[in-house]
Structure 1
Amino acid sequence: MTLRDVFAAVSGQPAFLFLLLASVPTAAFLVNLWSGETAEEIIKWKYVYSTLVYLACIPGIFAVTLNIYLFLFERQSIWDMNLALQVLPILTMVGTLFLIRRKIPFNYIPGFGKLSSFLTLLAAVMGILWFIDRTRIYAITYVPFTYIVVGFIALLLIIRFAWSRIF
């Protein structure tokens, strides 16, 4: 089974996907109602908020990455977008994060920094790959492949270090 087969199967049942993705911001709304108003009561719910953030961000980040890949590398037209798979997870992520942000700051949510670091690393990798794709540099070299992989990882570490120093 390929990723295209999975997308075709999910696109065949958009109601199920809509219910699944709509349940996350709905749960965030309900947790906001139940968590109370004082800081002590809200902090008790931080692991529930963390779970909701991950449930919203994993499909949302995947959809953003998929959109970037399809538009930059595959040159997909915007008219051919699959709204259920390419837009709905992003809207779910934005809506859930908006609801959670109204109740609790993100620095109190465990693991939220790891998501932003992952997104930064993903953006750096996509940027490097896009740059390599656009320059159309093809080289025949006698450098072992392991040196190229080590250089790529070193470049990613430098980008991550520079990004953390900037922000």
Structure 2
Amino acid sequence: MTLQQLFQRIGENPGFLLFYFLIIPVAAIVAGFLGKGEGHLSPWKYLYAILIYLVSVPGIFSVALNIYFFLFQRGDVMQTDVYMQILPIVVMLVTIFIIRRNVSLALIPGFDKISGLWFMLFATMFLMWLLEKIHIVVFSYLPFQYLLGIFVVLFILIYIGWRRFVAK
């Protein structure tokens, strides 16, 4: 089974996917009501961490898929799959917003690692896009120290993101 076939099957039967992406923000809302003002304490902060990871992994995958689809494949916006390309991102942002209203995200275990993963992913995707756009002709006109500087800055950004992801 290819990734395209999987997406097609999910698009044909979106019930489970809709339930999954509906239950997570609802759980965050319920946890916000039940643990009002206690989001930084032990059972709630771990519940929030689980909810953030449950929406962030598909959300990050969806962002990466969209970046690949629109920047590298030059896909048509009108062909965007709402279930697989838009819904995970919206639910991820909504869930993080709901959780942030009850507790500081800095107090959630593992949030620094997931934000480091986001940062590393976007820096890497930008680097890949830049490498695709820069052709060998550009290298001959661009002074070598500028090219070296660009790659050093991108490497530092990726390194900082990676350290935030694996540190602690």
TM-score (norm 1): 0.80
Does the 8 Å CA contact 2:116/2:161 hold for their aligned counterparts? no
Does the alignment pair 1:85 with 2:84? yes
> CA separation in 2, counterparts of 1:155 and 1:42?
36
Alignment: residue pair count = 148
Deviation digits for residues 100-121 of structure 1 (CA, Å, limit 9, x no counterpart): 0000000000000111111111
Residue in 2 that maps onto 1:13: 13
Stretches of structure 2 that go unaligned for 5 or more consecutive residues are: 138-151, 163-168
> CA separation in 2, counterparts of 1:74 and 1:52?
32
> CA separation in 2, counterparts of 1:6 and 1:163?
31
Does the alignment pair 1:43 with 2:6? no
Residue in 2 that maps onto 1:59: 58
Aligned alpha-carbon RMSD (Å) = 2.3
> CA separation in 2, counterparts of 1:87 and 1:126?
18
Residue in 2 that maps onto 1:25: 25
Residue in 1 that maps onto 2:156: 158
Cα 1:121–1:162 change in 2 (3 A) is closer
Q: What SS does the corresponding residue of 1:29 show, helix, strand or coil?
A: helix
Residue in 2 that maps onto 1:151: none
The Cα shift of 1:75 comes to 0.5
Stretches of structure 1 that go unaligned for 5 or more consecutive residues are: 139-153
Does the 8 Å CA contact 1:24/1:52 hold for their aligned counterparts? yes
TM-score (norm 2): 0.80
Does the 8 Å CA contact 2:46/2:108 hold for their aligned counterparts? yes
Q: What SS does the corresponding residue of 2:74 show, helix, strand or coil?
A: coil
The Cα shift of 1:2 comes to 1.2
Q: What SS does the corresponding residue of 1:129 show, helix, strand or coil?
A: helix
> CA separation in 2, counterparts of 1:54 and 1:130?
27
Residue in 2 that maps onto 1:145: none
**Aligned residues with identical type, % of pairs:** 36
Does the 8 Å CA contact 1:46/1:109 hold for their aligned counterparts? yes
Does the 8 Å CA contact 2:32/2:99 hold for their aligned counterparts? yes
The Cα shift of 1:77 comes to 1.0
Q: What SS does the corresponding residue of 2:24 show, helix, strand or coil?
A: helix
Letter in 2 for 1:133: E
